[in-house]
Amino acid sequence: MSLPAAPFGRMLTAMVTPFTADGRVDLEGVARVAAHLVEHGNDGVVVSGTTGESPTTTVPEDAEILRAVKDAVGDRATVIAGVGTNATAHSVELALQAEKVGVDAVLVVTPYYNKPGPAGSLHHFTEVARATDLPVMLYDVPGRTGQAIAPETYEAAARLDTVSSVKHATGNPLDTIALRELGYDVYSGDDALLLGYLAHGGCGIISVVGHAAGVQLREVIERFDADDPAGALATFTRLVPLIDAVMGVPNYGATTAKGALELLGVLEDRHVRGPLVPLDEDEMARLRAALEEAGVL
């Protein structure tokens, strides 16, 4: 069973944004993480998304982060810029900035907190899509935004020239079938549901666990694509303890990924920006045990 085409690669990670102890963006750390991801199984990186703590970074910082990533990966990987906010004008500003930096696409999440509804979400996506010539990937994650993208919004957005794909993190891989019929390339936004998304027509994943297990997740996808579902499941099964550890704390994502990168020696520390707090020592011990059990440490 061959997987559908993947416009930005099959294995991507939503990368963290390293910070210094005094809260500044650590651009050397940004470059180091980006290079680590590309050298460990990733076809691309998503910058300034949820895991990148984008609600806490400024517009100038976002530009610096993007440039550091582009310099680090060169033409070895695709770079997708997260430009989703809950203010349309702000998202347009970020999209125009990302286009100037030279990224491959932009990621636009459903506006959060203000919950604009189907018509407002479509307006938001349309304004961003019309502002640049870059491909637009929608991001559907109701657990964080408070609402899912409505079917009628998906249908209307698919008619926009540059809207071509979706990072889908609703917990329901079955939706992939309908989204494929509308013309979307569907990326799993949930590590735990990767096999379900592939089975329903997904083309790849935008991962958090990929910070530590990009090679192994890539193997899952490649085995599935090579008509070896049993082999894909066997590889995935070995990762389950790590997936549980990374996704099993209340403020998972940036905190757990940075903890893993510290344990792997990619980052010197695991600083985050408030309101997040770094993993405590007990959480780090559990994460270390999971990394060892999965065979990545």
Quick: pLDDT tens for 255-296: 999 999 999 999 999 999 999 999 999 999 999 999 999 999
Q: Residue written as tokens 């893993």? A: 260
What is the DSSP-derived secondary structure letter of residue 280?
-
Q: Residue written as tokens 């590590």? A: 191
Quick: pLDDT tens for 154-184: 999 999 999 999 999 999 999 999 999 999 9
Q: Is 181 exposed, middle or buried (0-12, 13-18, 19+ CB in 10 A)?
A: exposed
Query: Which H or E element spans position 200?
Result: none
For residue 116, say if its preceding peptide bond is cis, omega within 30 degrees of 0: no
Quick: pLDDT tens for 10-52: 999 999 999 999 999 999 999 999 999 999 999 999 999 999 9
Q: Place 1 in a pLDDT band, splitting at 50, 70 and 90.
A: low
Does the annotation mark 167 as catalytic? yes
Of the residues 112, 113, 115, 139, which is catalytic?
139
Are 169 and 139 contacting, i.e. CB atoms less than 8 angstroms apart? yes
Of the residues 70, 154, 167, 187, which is catalytic?
167
What is the DSSP-derived secondary structure letter of residue 45?
E
Residue 127 has pLDDT above 70, yes or no: yes
Q: CB-based contacts of 163: which residues, under 8 Å, 6+ apart? A: 125, 129, 136, 138, 157
Task: Calculate the alpha carbon distances from 33 to 15, 72, 296 in Å.
Answer: 8, 9, 16
**Token pair of 293, please?**
């059990």
Does the annotation mark 70 as catalytic? no
What is the rounded CA–CA span in Å between residue 6 and residue 229? 19
